[in-house]
Structure 1
């Protein structure tokens, strides 16, 4: 059984006089200006997480690139770029976004397991700083395209370290059998091949073992293996000057489990000390998750067995993580009431799917029709995964900066969707 009280509030949220606040503004006041459901982000909280991240990793010489797939809104990307972060992208669309946000293409890393020729050409022509190569076949295609364009590019090989990150099966990426990365047994072969590719400067290795990792041990095992393979390849005569350690740093979704930046920075310093190599990191979730909430309204409650239902106007098309990953996002009221008794409830949305359930057996005071509620920890992998299923609009995204409210993505109305089909 989960309880509302078991989850500590993200730092950007607080209760004052029983009203839920983001920074200095009440969420109720914000909801009076924007129809629910909508995403709400704290720019100040994002800046604080960026500061915490850089304070941990910069002293140990780690360059930080934001994983755009976690939240690709242009306003969020501009916050990252203004703080000096590079970007880690996985598509040509994300490349277009980071360039529009003003991020230097030389500070962009192009990851992704199935880059098309069109995307590779787009990235080469844009001057992307590094390609994380996922296969021998991709390496050959990069060689062909760069030869046609007469442009030299930097690349690293993404190696599969075959380490279980101890996270959900749907977000693990570094085990044998995952579609990502190159088997370490082929590294020497591919570095030898790259020696015959004058346009491809193969500079090192990359890894990414998964997402929402809350234990340091999978990182320790993986980083030590990366060091071992780097030293082995150098001994074979290859010049490696770059090591990309990916991302995946876990955050607290209400169970008290997370991984702090400093702990990982200390591991990197300890495990890679004396290697004389440039180190890159690509956090996403850990920079933005806690800075976002999904504001929603109770449509109705329903008496049922074994538990009563709370029905929200937000659905799995707006926030699919609970259905996709069995993820938990704590639900809290915008206005606290001491008059209602707590009881176990199932919290669901309006989508015509049984998987449209945010929380099961979740204990909180039974809300009433029209009550405003908030699903917390939705700054990452939330709005970016939303859809128009059941012909529902894409909901708005709103940014709060100090006391200024700004719509950073308008809701996509049904009329706008229909115009694409006529």
Structure 2
């Protein structure tokens, strides 16, 4: 296994062999020290005025939230359940933003209970917050703006600058602000612009961030809004193939410093919301091979878990990196540290569900793959376990294994406690 390929997995060959020997498959395993190191690495290259908020939706596992809370992270939440999970992990509302295009009253109550900064997506959010907020001072909120131009993303997942269910279109933001001014218990003092997903080009991200500050300048100069927070969203990408480049976070941090220097009018804080960049490389998904077949020229490997465990490849068409482990031997196929060679052949990974939709991606896997071998999918610490169709066909959910600094593993499952009363 070439080093550039094994680098796409949270654990090295020896640790993967150990994990697959110790834990019944299927399971997800996460490296908490790696999560801590990634947070510190990103924090170290960012300007002091840039706050770092972990996007909980990427992976809401309680041990992971506890790890980031201990590092002083802010949190980006999008449901009452996520708010509750962050509070249980030691996070605080003063370091929390709350987003979502269709917030329920329960969601808004949870955000207010925690003291989170709510990002409003329309006048309806303002109206309901005006009714719910009982504090002596106006409630400070941020408005999410959908830019008319000047934003782009490599893969159209968030939506770039086109039609969007999120936020207020830039063309009607003046009208929105005029309407919002009628609700005196709510004050717009922040801005959010989120325009990309899994972007590997720091320059493209910085161009989008400049667009956010351009919109902020307009709100400041035209409407006199003293912005205390500009949230430029997330979108920091990770590579899913060895040939892809890694995001240059040093260039991103230096560029954000220049963006702030270019906008002397803005004296508040900038917020960055990485989720996948922090959590994806910390996790793997491991499932045993049940059977293999060739159907009309296409090779299939059937795993004991499918879209009930890992749905994202079906949704986005983007496969997670794959390798295979043979119990008692090591990584097999290609060139590996164990010296086990063998040809790699294109393979479609299918699961146990009674639907032709049950496809968990493709990859080059050993030609001699056999039942009992374990297929490992990398970059599975984000948008994996909790995004899946867990209850479909009533299979058992996979175990969640959290590996600590001492190398021990615990079977603590992802926990999402109930929302605050």
Alpha-carbon contact 1:28-1:372 (below 8 Å) kept = no
Alignment partner, residue 41 of structure 2? 52
Say if 1:296 and 1:155 are closer, same or farther in 2 by CA, change over 3 A: same
Alignment partner, residue 253 of structure 2? 265
TM-score relative to the length of structure 1:
0.87
Alpha-carbon contact 2:126-2:183 (below 8 Å) kept = no
Alignment partner, residue 415 of structure 1? none
Matching residue within 389, 393, 401 for 2:392? 389
Partners of 1:109 and 1:339 in 2: CA distance = 49
What is the number of residues matched between the two proteins? 396
Matching residue within 30, 36, 39 for 2:28? 39
Alpha-carbon contact 1:60-1:265 (below 8 Å) kept = no
Alignment partner, residue 417 of structure 1? none
Counterparts of residues 8-407 of structure 1 (less than 5 Å): 8-10=6-8, 12-14=10-12, 20-21=13-14, 26-57=15-46, 59-128=47-116, 130-147=117-134, 152-162=138-148, 163-169=150-156, 171-236=157-222, 237-254=224-241, 255-273=243-261, 274=264, 275-334=266-325, 335-337=330-332, 338=340, 340-360=342-362, 362-386=364-388, 387-402=390-405, 403-407=407-411
Partners of 1:136 and 1:98 in 2: CA distance = 27
Give CA-to-partner distance per residue, 1:146-201, whole Å, 9 cap, x none.
15x666422111111245533333x2244221111111133333334444433223
> Shift in Å at residue 250 of structure 1?
0.7
Give CA-to-partner distance per residue, 1:39-94, whole Å, 9 cap, x none.
0000111111111110121x342001110000001111101100100110001111
Q: Return 5+ residue gaps in structure 1 as ranges.
A: 15-19, 412-422
TM-score relative to the length of structure 2:
0.87
> Shift in Å at residue 301 of structure 1?
1.6
Say if 1:253 and 1:101 are closer, same or farther in 2 by CA, change over 3 A: same
Say if 1:391 and 1:56 are closer, same or farther in 2 by CA, change over 3 A: same
Alpha-carbon contact 1:173-1:180 (below 8 Å) kept = no
